[in-house]
Amino acid sequence: MKKGRLVFAAVAAALAAAGILCFPGQCAQGAKRGLSFCGNILIPSIFPFLVLSVFVVKSGVSKALSRLLDPVTKRLFRLPGSAGATVLIGLTGGYPSGARGIKALLDSGEITQKQARRMLCFTVGAGPAFVISVTGSGLLGSVQTGIILFISQLSAALVLGILVGLFARGEEAPAEARGGASSASMPVSSALVEAASDGASSMISMCSFVILFSALLVILDQSGISSFLKEVFSSFGLPDRIASSLVPVLLEVTTGSTAAASAGAGAPFLSFALGWAGLCVDFQIFSMLRSVSFSKAVFLLFRLFHGLLSALFTVIGLHFFPITETVFFSTGQSLSGGLALRADGGLLLLLLCVVFLLSLQVKNVTMKKKKKSLER
């Protein structure tokens, strides 16, 4: 197995080097495109959530929210209440922010390795700004479609979270914060400094993968490999509009979503692309979670399930809320800063989720009081 992996890595490196030498200008343009995406979209939208995901753990905010989030995280996901904030951030803050929060929880002793693996199954998703503003409004020309895509992705994640929680019913009760220095809360100023430093390190790693995959996609296009794979996919009965964009969808979500929208692949297929997230995002998560023991094959299988469930929920959503205006929007212009992801939308949604959970807790307390009064 080790020899096979080594041979595969050597062949892949040799082919990549040959592609760079044969298409140096095109490869450079692809890298520039990835760098532009990082500067205009990725960093402004993801970096605040990366910092926030670590800050809520280091500062002890996640512990303070544990009582509020206990009913949901324990009953639905079989997780400690302190993991609830990380779950919310993972579902609304963009793909890697949930993974970064999981690592912070594990490092502080708030969750176990088993719980970290289960959280990875459903806390990986695109932020609402990317789904609604960039994919919905920018690529498909419909905010309503973007909202349906985001709700579909969120619903798929919740279904997966509940399912893996059901399989964990036989486990011991969810671990709360474990004592010791590792779980001690830091002062707010120290927690913010450490979270910002940690987020910057993670951001550099993420941008590196985005630039690398952008250049790789150009090499695949210029060498004819993408066209060959398109013919292979078409031979299995896939429509041309899907087969032509499947390679970028499998590799990198932004380029894949753009290609799928341009080819007219349809909103359900874009929903699959957002749920699958692409190998570029997967490698970003792998680099962040070296201390977590998990099966990469199982992780990829859940990414596939997430994509398929998201597509199914999108079909259902479009059935009940059909789009009457023109959906697919074709443009020769690249995505600009005007369509850049914004953190305020995600933070607002996060606040709404907290308010929703608080209302559930209040309702639960009220029902218990009524029950006691009736018993008297």
Chain segment 16-35, per-residue pLDDT in tens = 899 999 999 999 999 999 89
Q: Which long-range contacts (CB under 8 A, 24 or more apart) does 279-283 make?
A: 279/213, 279/250, 279/251, 279/252, 280/209, 280/210, 280/212, 280/213, 280/251, 280/252, 280/253, 281/95, 281/96, 281/124, 281/253, 283/209
Distance CA 304, CA 153 (A): 12
The pLDDT tens digits of the residues spanning 67-83 come to 777 888 888 898 988 88
Q: How much is the average pLDDT of 357-363?
A: 47
259 contacts 249 by C-beta, under 8 angstroms: yes
**3-class SS at 12?**
helix
Distance CA 319, CA 323 (A): 9
How many C-beta atoms surround the C-beta of residue 118 within 10 A? 26
Average pLDDT over the chain reads: 82
Q: Between residues 168 and 233, which one has the greater pLDDT?
A: 233
- pTM for the model stands at 0.79
Which residues make Cβ contacts (< 8 Å) with residue 211, sequence separation at least 6?
Answer: 31, 34, 35, 38
Residue of 63, 47, 173 whose CA lies nearest to 108: 63
Question: Does the pLDDT at position 105 exceed 60?
Answer: yes
Question: In this predicted structure, what is the pLDDT of residue 91?
Answer: 87
Question: In this predicted structure, what is the pLDDT of residue 169?
Answer: 67
Question: Does the pLDDT at position 183 exceed 60?
Answer: no
250 contacts 256 by C-beta, under 8 angstroms: yes
Question: In this predicted structure, what is the pLDDT of residue 7?
Answer: 86
Question: Does the pLDDT at position 122 exceed 80?
Answer: yes
Question: Does the pLDDT at position 360 exceed 60?
Answer: no
Residue of 30, 307, 71, 295 whose CA lies nearest to 174: 71
Grade residue 57 by pLDDT with cuts at 50, 70 and 90. Answer: confident
Grade residue 219 by pLDDT with cuts at 50, 70 and 90. Answer: very high
27 contacts 219 by C-beta, under 8 angstroms: yes
Grade residue 280 by pLDDT with cuts at 50, 70 and 90. Answer: very high
310 contacts 274 by C-beta, under 8 angstroms: yes
The pLDDT tens digits of the residues spanning 236-265 come to 999 999 999 999 999 999 889 989 999 999
Proportion of the chain above pLDDT 90, given as a percent: 41
Distance CA 318, CA 145 (A): 8
